[in-house]
Amino acid sequence: MENNALIALRAIDFGYPGGPQVLKNLDLDLHAGERLGLLAPNGSGKTTLFHVIMGLLKPIRGRIILFGQPAEKEADFAAARRRIGLLFQDADDQLFSPTVLEDVAFGPLNLGKSRDEAIAVARQTLARLGLTGFENRVTFRLSGGEKRLVSLATVLAMEPEVLLLDEPTTGLDDRTRETLADLISDLDLAYILISHNTRFLEQTVDATYSMEDGHIKTDEALHFHEHVHAHRHGRIPHQHE
């Protein structure tokens, strides 16, 4: 294969039916171990980009290569979705079971785990997120911040190889946000993280890209962790803060 990236997008064009083009000639690569931030104004197309990667929206033009395989048919995306965890921007798109434990166990069950295994993974994941005791809570009665954490639990319980996190800090108080930053930065996973919170990005990613005019802007990528991690984009000018 031409490309050993986990996710590779080439010359992607996308527009919603009857609307303007949202993604234009967009290129993106995410390699193993890479932790990428995406910071751009509302309406830039960030969420749309994640949905295109997952095969939830079909581009008008361009190529998507996931784990080295061209993703074209629904079956290709369905296979990749078992390996890529998407945290939806809106928790109500993620949570649908009556109770927290059922919601978190749903993914592992769906991936073929036994009921006992799925529940064990769900309990472990809840514990990791500080949600022990939430098992029997009614999902739709949770606060916004609690829904955010339970949503993340449903994603992590599926043991993905790549994460796409769409504004994970929405609704979280400062303390929970700090805990989440520690947890995410400790994950041994590649991810793309959309956030407007520069402190959170600073704590969790190695480089932050912007989006403008339908494509990723890498030329002014912010590199926060320059003294901790090796530069993967050393040729790109970066800011020292």
Ligand X SMILES: Nc1ncnc2c1ncn2[C@@H]1O[C@H](COP(=O)(O)OP(=O)(O)O)[C@@H](O)[C@H]1O
* Contact call for residue 58 and ligand X (CB under 6 A): no
In the complex, least distance from residue 148 CB atom to Mg ion, rounded to whole angstroms: 14
In the complex, least distance from residue 42 CB atom to ligand X, rounded to whole angstroms: 4
Choosing among ligand X, Mg ion, none, which partner's interface includes residue 16 (Cβ < 5 to 8 Å by kind)? ligand X
3-state secondary structure at position 191: strand
| DSSP conformation class of 225 | -
Would you say the C-alpha torsion 35, 146, 195, 18 has a positive or negative sign?
positive
Size of the site for ligand X (CB under 6 A): 11
Question: What is the contact mask toward Mg ion in residues 8 to 47, using x (rule: CB under 5 A)?
Answer: --------------------------------------xx
User: CB under 5 A: which stretch of 1-9, 83-91, 120-128, 219-227 binds Mg ion?
Assistant: 83-91
Minimum CB distance to Mg ion smaller for 89 or for 154: 89
3-state secondary structure at position 214: coil
3-state secondary structure at position 84: strand
Q: Which of 30, 48, 206, 215 binds ligand X (CB under 6 A)?
A: 48
Question: What is the contact mask toward ligand X in residues 3 to 22, using x (rule: CB under 6 A)?
Answer: -------------x--x--x
Choosing among Mg ion, ligand X, none, which partner's interface includes residue 169 (Cβ < 5 to 8 Å by kind)? none
Strands 69-70 and 61-66, by their bridges, are: antiparallel
Minimum CB distance to ligand X smaller for 57 or for 183: 57
3-state secondary structure at position 209: strand
* Contact call for residue 47 and ligand X (CB under 6 A): yes
For 113-147, b where at least 16 C-beta lie within 10 A, e where not — what string?
A: beeeebbebbbebbeebebeebbebebeebeebbb
> What does the alpha-carbon distance between residue 195 and residue 38 come to, in Å, rounded to a whole number?
6
Reference 200, options 179, 221, 186, 218; nearest CA is 179
In the complex, least distance from residue 138 CB atom to ligand X, rounded to whole angstroms: 28
> What does the alpha-carbon distance between residue 117 and residue 104 come to, in Å, rounded to a whole number?
12
Minimum CB distance to Mg ion smaller for 85 or for 108: 85
Binding site residues, ligand X, CB under 6 A: 16, 19, 22, 40, 42-48
Binding site residues, Mg ion, CB under 5 A: 46-47, 89
